[in-house]
Amino acid sequence: MLSKIWKRIKRVRQYFYDRITSSVYQLIFAIAYENRKYLVLAFTANLLASTLEAGTFGVIYIALGVLVGDIALGDIENPIVANRLVQSVLGQFNSNQTFVTLVLLAAIVQIIKSALHYLAAIWTNELSLNLRERVSDRLFETVMRLSFLCASRYKIGDLVEYLGGAETVQYQIRLWQDFIVNFLLFLAYLAVILWISPGLSLLAIILCSTLLGLQRYLEPRFRQLSLVITDIGVEVAKEIAQSIQGLRLIHTFGQQQTTIKKVRYLRRKIIPVKRKSTRLVAIHDPLGDTLTMIVVSGLLIGGLGILGQSTRSLIPALLTFISAFNRMAVQTKRTIRVLNFLANSFGDMSRLDEILETKDKQFVRFDGKNFTGLKKEIIFDCVSLQYQKGQDFALKNISFHIGKGKIVALVGASGAGKSSIADLLIGLYEATRGSILIDGLNLREYSLSSWRSHLGIVSQDTFILNATIGENISYSIEAVSKERIIEAATQARARDFISNLPLGYDTVVGERGYRLSGGERQRIALARAILKQPEILILDEATSALDSQSERLVQDTFEKYKGDRTVLVIAHRLSTIVNADEIIVLEKGTVVERGNHQTLLALKGLYAHYWQLQSQGSELQTHQKSNET
């Protein structure tokens, strides 16, 4: 028996230890300590209010004794009434006057108690608001600080769901406020009934023990159901977020009905679980009310024998006891209900702890040496990249250098590793082996924010904000004039289509720029890079969505920067890189050829093969156009 009790104590201790030491509760405790003023004020107000509540019942008990006994205050035998101070104040009144005075005193005490509860609620709300804002900031900061490799492992729906976790924390604070209020009132009523009769109080303790036993039986089931409900809810949220983001794809492939059925199926999965949870919650109140009524009936029947007093003295004691006991039972049920709600939110808090936990996560480096500009060269020294353990290497022993002001082009089939090299240079990933040296210093030693401030990046997968054209072009650049924005758009060959839009540069382009074509989005990205005037330019299929004439014009724009900008180009159209200082040909993550355009053609290797295929394709298109003419 003792061993079982000890095991249960250890389980309870471990449960609370796990909660207290979790990342989310450590954060809550830290913020609560910073706002301890509100915490102390709220607790003190609740404690005083509960004490006054117990005092109210004491006053009511005295008043009933005076009224029923129809005798002077000093003649009442109860010790609390014999208090000299009370007698000195009220002893000069008759019974009716004393009764009225005591009732008014009880009312005043209740008003003060209610005011204290109101103040406690205000201070608790201040605490919860501060907690909510700080946790919201911490969650968003955590997501933003995740390394690109780490963040890319999550679905967008997951991250959006995590960012809503601050509401859970605010809800938890409200629950704990309710728990403290209810528990302190429970103690106040318990003190009253113990003062009136320890014997009758034993029945109350039995009832409370029964209710607590019921809570102990139901709480693990609530927690388990909460986890299941949370998991299914997350799946629904992820599917909805993914469906909204992929509206174009869904409409293109006519998958509206399929998507609706899938979301509906996921929603239906949660119904049986919620039904079971509702049944557990619903059984608690009727059972508690039944137990309470049984005990009250027992008190009414056996009260006279237990109290052992005259009928006249029994009535105020029994009325006060039953009233206090009934309120104690209500507080017991409320306390247990709050504990059930806390158990129900266990799943949400556990999920919140997942994103706040720093173990097994990688974060962006904000410290390091400030990068002020490229002096000499960028060197890839035996660089290998493996995205995840157990996977094949995306890059294997890559070595090359990019001199200041030079243009280096990367060529290869899809999956050869071209974009991986660009991502390493940007700092989205870190090399698994080898190093990237910037003027002899490892890229890892630089502050990534200062390094990226010198980069201009245009990729094939262009992200456009749901903002105006002007705001998209000037993204990351503060206090830029409209003239400079127009000049950048002109150089990117975007001015004509922007001028034809209803509001020109003030036109909002919609979510992910869905109102623009692929070529228009790419021109916006090019204008963004041109406006930034970066020292190092990374072009990853930057003109793939442009027609040949627009591409040539854009290339002419970048030719003007030759010698002033260090450029890394990734291109499938080899005609765009014939003037590159060096062309590196990749295959399956390794370098197979390198040299300028003429050198590589003379090798008659893989690059020459690509050039021949594209030249034949160009000739075929020219021949088809001449026939149409």
| Whether 352 contacts 132, CB under 8 Å | no
| pLDDT tens digits for range 201-243 | 776 677 656 666 665 666 666 667 666 777 777 777 777 777 7
Higher pLDDT, 514 or 61: 61
What is the percent of the chain where pLDDT is above 70?
71
Q: In the CATH hierarchy, which top-level class contains the domain 34-356?
A: mainly alpha
What is the percent of the chain where pLDDT is above 90?
10
Beta-carbon contacts of residue 49 (< 8 Å; ≥ 6 apart):
113, 114, 116, 117, 120, 181, 184
Q: What is the pLDDT of residue 400?
A: 92
Half-sphere exposure of 556 (CA within 13 A, CB side): 9
| pLDDT tens digits for range 40-98 | 898 899 899 888 888 888 777 777 766 665 444 444 444 444 444 455 555 555 566 67
Cβ neighbours around 584 below 10 Å, total: 24
What is the band of 14 on the pLDDT scale with cuts at 50, 70, 90? low
Higher pLDDT, 42 or 152: 42
| pLDDT tens digits for range 279-295 | 666 666 666 666 666 66
From 75-84, 425-434, 542-551, the region with the lowest mean pLDDT: 75-84
Q: What is the pLDDT of residue 592?
A: 93
Secondary structure in 3-state letters for 463-515? CCCCCEHHHHHCCCCCCCCHHHHHHHHHHCCCHHHHHCCCCHHHCECCHHHCC
Q: What is the pLDDT of residue 107?
A: 84
From 74-78, 300-304, 382-386, 523-527, the region with the lowest mean pLDDT: 74-78
Residue with tokens 């039953």: 322
Higher pLDDT, 584 or 74: 584
Higher pLDDT, 155 or 585: 585
Higher pLDDT, 618 or 179: 179
| pLDDT tens digits for range 443-500 | 988 988 888 888 888 877 777 787 888 888 888 787 788 889 988 888 888 888 888 8
CB environment 216-234: b (16+ within 10 A), e (fewer): eebbeebbebbbbbbebbb
Cβ neighbours around 420 below 10 Å, total: 22
Higher pLDDT, 62 or 304: 62
Q: What is the pLDDT of residue 264?
A: 82
Domain boundaries, the chain: 34-356
CA distance readout (Å), 539 to 119, 227, 522, 543, 556:
61, 46, 11, 8, 14
Q: What is the pLDDT of residue 85?
A: 43
What is the band of 324 on the pLDDT scale with cuts at 50, 70, 90? confident
What is the band of 434 on the pLDDT scale with cuts at 50, 70, 90? very high
At residue 621, does pLDDT exceed 60?
A: no
What is the band of 130 on the pLDDT scale with cuts at 50, 70, 90? confident
The stretches of 147-197 forming alpha helices (DSSP H) are 148-151, 156-163, 165-196
Higher pLDDT, 159 or 546: 159
What is the SS3 assignment for 604? coil
Q: What is the pLDDT of residue 203?
A: 64
At residue 410, does pLDDT exceed 60?
A: yes
At residue 619, does pLDDT exceed 50?
A: no
Mean pLDDT computed over 26-38? 83
CA distance readout (Å), 440 to 381, 437, 443, 446, 455:
11, 5, 9, 12, 18
Cβ neighbours around 182 below 10 Å, total: 22
Mean pLDDT computed over 142-153? 75
Q: What is the pLDDT of residue 590?
A: 93
What is the SS3 assignment for 538? strand
Secondary structure in 3-state letters for 225-254? HHHHHHHHHHHHHHHHHHHHHCHHHHHHCC
Rounded to an integer, what distance in angstroms lies between the CA atom of residue 398 and that of residue 414?
A: 17
At residue 309, does pLDDT exceed 80?
A: no
